[in-house]
A and B are shown apart, each in its own frame.
Chain A
């Protein structure tokens, strides 16, 4: 079945440093979504990418969808303590099942 891998699993950064998490799928995705889960909370939708090579920005967050629609990345510029949490990518293949990556847990030292 479809597999979605995320790296790294954990990342410690100093406040102000940049952060990137990578997502790779074993199959071509029709679209990819990114979610953020704060400690003790539930996943919250951040963004969806649909087109091959698409790049979207939300303030300090930059999301990319690979040309082959099998990989994606989330980059945070100048991290803040409010960025702490676990970031998940999730993708649909041709069907109706959404597969999540294992998540990247971001910790920010003030």
Chain B
């Protein structure tokens, strides 16, 4: 089954304790991205990756790191989490990632990771 998986689905942690949220897709997609969702603010892009070893900042990259060593995986790293990073996080992937026409930039979202930083 074609899907995007995220782990963990729920995480409660404390300020300053490094954590990684994993994201994996089995659709051979080129483009992967991370979003955070907060009430009233919609989905805001944190980082995106056009391909292996290529990553770019989105709207809200501060406090986050990513890596794209393999095509299928795109982990999100919080080196020193703070309470303002408490949020619902979604990983997404698509065939491509430009504004060109076509279904290749349709985003497929993972189930989400609810993170609480105390």
Contacts and interface: CB of A to CB of B under 8 A. Distances in A.
A42 B111 contact: yes
Interface stretch (B13-21, B66-74, B77-85, B101-109): B101-109
A6 B42 CA distance: 10
Contact of A102 (B40, B107, B108, B110): B40
Majority secondary structure of chain A interface residues (helix, strand, loop or mixed)? loop
Contacts of B43: 43, 88, 90, 100, 103
A92 B48 CA distance: 13
A94 B42 contact: no
Interface string B87-116: 000101000011111010111111110000
Interface residues of B, number: 30
A10 to B, nearest CB: 10
Given A42-B90, A42-B112, A48-B103, A96 B42 contact: no
A73 interface: no
Nearest 9 interchain pairs by C-beta: A92-B99, A30-B99, A102-B42, A100-B43, A42-B109, A50-B101, A100-B42, A96-B97, A45-B106
Contacts of B40: 9, 102
A3 to B, nearest CB: 10
